[in-house]
Structure 1
Amino acid sequence: MATLWELMHDCIPDDHARQVTSRYYVDEVMTAPDPPAQVLDLGCGRGTSAALFRRHNPEVHWFGVDIRDSPEAGQRTRTARTDPVVHYDGIRLPFRSASLPLIYSHQVFEHVSHPRELLAEIHRVLRPRGLFIGSTSQFEPYHSFSLWNYTPYGFRVLAQDAGLHLEEIRPSLDGVALIMRTFHGRPPEYSRYWDEESPLNTDIDHWAAKNKRRPALVNLRKLTFCGQFAFRVRKP
């Protein structure tokens, strides 16, 4: 039986083992040489990601897409309403083939009814060598019409089936923290764990220091138990 390491080692990074969010890849892409001038936020919700990209480039062309009855999209602020957002049917993206350099998706795919079909659409509309970055859930209780949780390997298989290549995957906060957050009624003190090491991840860091484990193996253990993970996917 193949282990998660055998299946995933080539896309588990060995530079550090900090927990991250999808913002990690926003910062990485937008500070790289020749950053993209436009980005599509897939499942844009309230449209708050526009500020993340404009922090790096105030002139970036940000636009969003979401389903018409998205509760989060209905909460867009007056400022966010100036950014273009189009509605779609949850599968077919209203963009030309090979037209987009970057697609961003923050905690959306656990809500997607037809993930295989939507990943195929992402492949269609991305330019060659274009990037799909974001995050999704592995161990997260039901929230806001969520449908699925993905193992890192399962997400990789779905991406590969769509003709996409998972280049890198990193752990976010641990699954125990997300489960306990829901169990206790989502108290605000749990929110800090998105920006600092969550409790189980802290225990894993202690285990790694005691046993002198390299970052890739620490990331492996955190990915095994993560509530959410962030990813960088490329169209060949």
Structure 2
Amino acid sequence: MAKEEAVYSHGHHKSVVQDHARRTAQDSAVFLLPHVKPDHTILDVGCGPGTITADFAELVPQGKVIGGDYVEAVLDQAREVASSRGLTNITFQQIDANALPFPDNSFDIVFAHQVLQHVKDPVQILKEMRRVSKPGGIVAARDADYKSFAWYPETPEIARWMELYQKVAKANGGEPNAGRYVHVWARKAGYTTDEITATWATWRYSGQRVTHFAQSWSGRILQPGFTRTAVKEGFATDDEIKQVSEGWKDWPTHEDAFFGFVHGEILCRKS
């Protein structure tokens, strides 16, 4: 059975999970929402703290939603989110997306948000997502493209962060610029060009949201998944990583600070 081999560069520290918990279906899956019907069965692969998953559950009152993640601890938070919202058509379970524990043709929609960039074999993940989707069903994925990011002010610390992140993510087995490849991976997973709709979308963080994001990254790069790889591979020293962390803390104090994200999106219809 295939198993995930890549290291999750962000880790599941509080600084990461709290930032992910601010995501919603509206800001992270708007390209998919017009295709969701009230009786659909949805699988959210790599659901994390479950806020997007819970939004899906509210959109399918006659259907059901399963959120799956590789890390059991983060699923406890997802269950709390669903419980606090009174949702009864949603469940969560530990999964490895390389070998999904579901029969063929099980779901109307299979969704993955910011997952393919962190895995060793994104094509295998998409093959599994395709397998468990119903004929006529949709596989949807959205992934960032770090090389296309933009920010202001352009401080040397944030520039160094990007340089290090590119190296660390790839050394950990992932692809930080996944957004430009998702449509290619979908075709390799068995979809024809006519079955794939590819789009290119953005986020723009400013004000309080950019402060939250900077606080998150000041903590993320100090976690083992990032620091251990950076030091072991000779990309940076511990002291330099701490300097970049401090740079993240200072950066959002500029009143005009903003961070722009670019994402590749795919909607794949199974014939």
Tell me which residue corresponds to 1:28.
34
> 1:84/1:56 Cα in 2 relative to 1: closer, same or farther (>3 Å)?
closer
In the alignment, does 2:201 pair up with 1:171? yes
> 1:149/1:56 Cα in 2 relative to 1: closer, same or farther (>3 Å)?
same
Distance (whole Å) between structure 2 residues aligned to residue 61 and residue 127 of structure 1: 15
Tell me which residue corresponds to 1:234.
269
Q: Is the 8 A contact 1:21 1:135 kept in 2?
A: no
Alignment of 1:160-199 (within 5 A): 160-164=187-191, 165-173=195-203, 181=214, 182=217, 184-185=248-249
Alignment of 1:1-236 (within 5 A): 21-30=27-36, 36-67=39-70, 69=71, 72-80=74-82, 83-139=90-146, 141=162, 142=165, 147-164=174-191, 165-173=195-203, 181=214, 182=217, 184-185=248-249, 227-236=262-271
Q: Larger helix proportion, structure 1 or 2?
A: 2
1:154 deviates by 2.0
**What SS is found at the alignment partner of 1:167?**
strand
**What SS is found at the alignment partner of 2:43?**
strand
Distance (whole Å) between structure 2 residues aligned to residue 187 and residue 134 of structure 1: 31
> 1:111/1:28 Cα in 2 relative to 1: closer, same or farther (>3 Å)?
same
Moved over 6 A (4+): 143-146, 186-190
**What SS is found at the alignment partner of 1:24?**
coil
TM-score (norm 1): 0.61
Q: Is the 8 A contact 1:22 1:231 kept in 2?
A: no
Report the RMSD for the aligned CA atoms in angstroms. Answer: 3.8
- Rg (Cα) greater in structure: 2
**Percent identical residues:** 23
Q: Is the 8 A contact 1:136 1:228 kept in 2?
A: yes
Q: Is the 8 A contact 1:99 1:126 kept in 2?
A: yes
Q: Is the 8 A contact 1:41 1:103 kept in 2?
A: yes
**What SS is found at the alignment partner of 1:132?**
strand
Q: Is the 8 A contact 2:120 2:173 kept in 1?
A: no
TM-score (norm 2): 0.54
Summarize deviations over 1:23-46 as a string: whole Å, max 9, x none. 31342122xxx5552100111111
Distance (whole Å) between structure 1 residues aligned to residue 93 and residue 75 of structure 2: 11
Q: Is the 8 A contact 2:42 2:66 kept in 1?
A: yes
Q: Which has the higher contact order (CA 8 A, sep 6+)?
A: 1
**What SS is found at the alignment partner of 2:53?**
helix
**What SS is found at the alignment partner of 2:130?**
helix
Summarize deviations over 1:178-207 as a string: whole Å, max 9, x none. 9x95563497799xx9xxxx776xxxxxxx
Distance (whole Å) between structure 2 residues aligned to residue 233 and residue 189 of structure 1: 41
Distance (whole Å) between structure 1 residues aligned to residue 78 and residue 252 of structure 2: 22
1:94 deviates by 0.6
Tell me which amino acid in the other structure corresponds to 1:51.
A
> 1:79/1:152 Cα in 2 relative to 1: closer, same or farther (>3 Å)?
closer
> 1:188/1:76 Cα in 2 relative to 1: closer, same or farther (>3 Å)?
farther
1:103 deviates by 0.8
Distance (whole Å) between structure 1 residues aligned to residue 182 and residue 32 of structure 2: 20
1:86 deviates by 2.0
Unaligned 5+ runs, structure 2:
1-25, 150-161, 218-246
Distance (whole Å) between structure 2 residues aligned to residue 97 and residue 40 of structure 1: 13
Q: Is the 8 A contact 1:21 1:172 kept in 2?
A: no
Unaligned 5+ runs, structure 1:
1-19, 201-225
